Structure 1
Amino acid sequence: MKTFDHLSVVGLREWINLPELGLVGLRAKIDTGASTSALHASDVQEFERDGTPWVRFTAYIGTQVQRRHRCEAELVAVKIIKSSNGHAQTRHVIRTLLTLGDRSWPVEFTLASRKTMQYRVLLGAKALVAAALVVNPALKYVQDKPQLSSPSGAQ
């Protein structure tokens, strides 16, 4: 059996930060079956800033008690995403810095309604490959939990 000592291990669930969006202490589900990462968002509105397309949206922090947080990010693309059940949906795509453990790197997220899902953030295969992460599905919360201070603008 080969071992990969140079790769960092994450569990099936991890705590993350999205600092550029002001989102701290989010629980993320690691999903190697999903290519792209997804962030639960509502009230998505496109606008222009200095001739560049941006989106404004509401993200949600917490699982038991939901706190809303208004975010803005540059719009990278609008894509049609096909779910595992074959349903196609048009989604806005943003790129923002993700912090997990002691690493930070830019990750593309589709903005989607995940209100019926237990985890508001899905971390897909592209994000894992970009950071050279290996998933051990028998583990949860392997990396250190981020600081849980409330971001400015949370309600």
Structure 2
Amino acid sequence: MDKDIIGWREWVELPELGLGKIKAKIDTGARSSSIHAYDIEEFERDSETWVRFAIHPDQHSDENVISCEARVKDYRSITDSGGHKTMRYIIETQFKIGKDTFLAELSLFNRSTMLFRMLIGRTALKGRYVVDPARSYCLSTSPEIAASE
């Protein structure tokens, strides 16, 4: 089976969270995927643990705020690229990249000091794509281009 080629950055939608296109870094060095989330608040719904959180989806801007809720799949220790461990909420949600929609795990973490608000790790990519680090936006177009079509 041939796999689609994905670039080192792509536009990703998270429809279950009400998020349109967000610029994501494709990172095969990271096992898990992560999104910039803050004001994370745990609550209970139907005897399950949920979280309410806010996201700044736009790179280099804190103006746009999206409020989200999701069921917690796990709460686990994640080691970042510098070897630091932090406990993070893990949710499972739909990722939409180009024509593909699939479920994948996403850790909630304050990424305000990082260039990309979202990082897609190898677990979400496994079996789906071949990454070409010399290319960008192979499967997706920017929101501005999509709006003008």
Whether TM-score is above 0.5 comes out as yes
Q: 1:98 aligns with which of 87, 95, 99?
A: 95
Q: Which residue of 1 aligns with 2:73?
A: 76
2-side partners of 1:128 and 1:43: how far apart?
28
Q: Which residue of 1 aligns with 2:139?
A: 143
| Runs of at least 4 residues off by over 3 Å | 146-149
Gaps of 5+ in 1: 150-155
Q: 2:110 aligns with which of 103, 106, 113?
A: 113
Determine whether 1:22 maps to 2:15: no
Q: 2:85 aligns with which of 79, 85, 88?
A: 88
Q: How many residues align?
A: 144
2-side partners of 1:64 and 1:31: how far apart?
20
2-side partners of 1:144 and 1:14: how far apart?
6
2-side partners of 1:17 and 1:102: how far apart?
11
Percent identity reads 39
Q: Any idea what the Cα deviations from partners look like across 1:64-103, whole Å, max 9, x if unmatched?
A: 4331111000000000111121111010000000000100
- When the two structures are superposed, what TM-score results if normalisation uses the length of structure 1? 0.88
Q: Which residue of 2 aligns with 1:45?
A: 41
CA RMSD of aligned residues (A): 1.5
Larger deviation: 59-68 or 16-25? 59-68
- When the two structures are superposed, what TM-score results if normalisation uses the length of structure 2? 0.92
Gaps of 5+ in 2: none
SS of equivalent to 1:61: coil
Q: Any idea what the Cα deviations from partners look like across 1:38-82, whole Å, max 9, x if unmatched?
A: 010001111111101111000112124331111000000000111
Determine whether 1:60 maps to 2:60: no
